[in-house]
Structure 1
Amino acid sequence: MTIKYCNQCGHPVEYQKPENDDKLRAVCQSCFYVQYENPLIVTGCIIEHKGSILLGKRTIEPRKNCWNVPAGFLEIGESTLDGAIREVKEEVLADIKNIELFGIYSIVQRSQVHIYYRAQLDSADFGAGAETSESKLFLPDDIPWDNLAFPVNITALKHYVKDMQSDEFAIHEQEILIDYDMLRQFDR
């Protein structure tokens, strides 16, 4: 994203290297405010119930009608954990317990950092929220791998299923590289 105007005074910015900086930044030509561009944070939760994993089918673009781990952009004023809990309630109408950090996935091409937790359903009650047409529990062998919404879902779920099989859960960290052909596929 290219910044054109200062978010402090509204005057035009120019990209230049501020003193003691090695990157081009949007610098206001009137008030000299340096406006930084930072990645977006996505937070979500892989939810397990009696050996199955809860996914929601998206009703919105991108990737409408694909299955997704309940996740979304972090809101101002909330922690990553609070954001994950909120996304679970919004997307699959579920309450969760035993929440633990599971993985941090960087997607440099999208300027995103995804922070995933893992949890169990607090009860067998769940449903379809405003951004989902249905929610469903899948045994690991039945996960619709070819119809998952995003590459980060695939990576995180593969880590989760592997950890489930060994019953040893680790905290995962990975940069997800997406080639441009794949990016076009996920932008449709």
Structure 2
Amino acid sequence: MRTERHGVHHHLPPPGGWRRHVARLPVSLFRIGLGPVLGRRLLLLHHTARADGHIHHTVLETLTYDAERGCWILASSADAPWYLDLLAAPMTTVQVGNHHYAVTAHFPDAGEAAEIVGRHGTGGRRRPRRACPVGRMAENADARTSGRAGKPPTLVRLDAARGQRLP
């Protein structure tokens, strides 16, 4: 089933009823101050919708956090609404635990994405499984595909603004 929302074709409709409430539960946990319960791998992205200008909130799992550079690496399909919103307005805010950080989104090309995955994909025994399907991009960034549409996932690097106390 294909639906169109905000000018983007989606293969699955958004969840409705009780499934929507379950899917939005992490956002509610961040809002009431229970972000640390969700761990350090999840962050709440505040992004401005490109269609109407309203602020939207999305909980995302990070592939990695680079403490030296102060950046988070995320994977996305190229048609995810939050990804398209970041393309339109790359300066935004994220919440990790109970701390907010001003960030700027950068979109690495395929070569840089393969380098990032190669650098961070070997950081532990379980990390390559967690980074899947993006972990396969390090082997051959052009030949490997994943996802429903057959396109490789795109990476987003969220760089924290200077002068912030980072985790």
Fold conserved between structures, TM > 0.5:
no
Structure showing greater Rg? 1
More strand, by proportion: 1
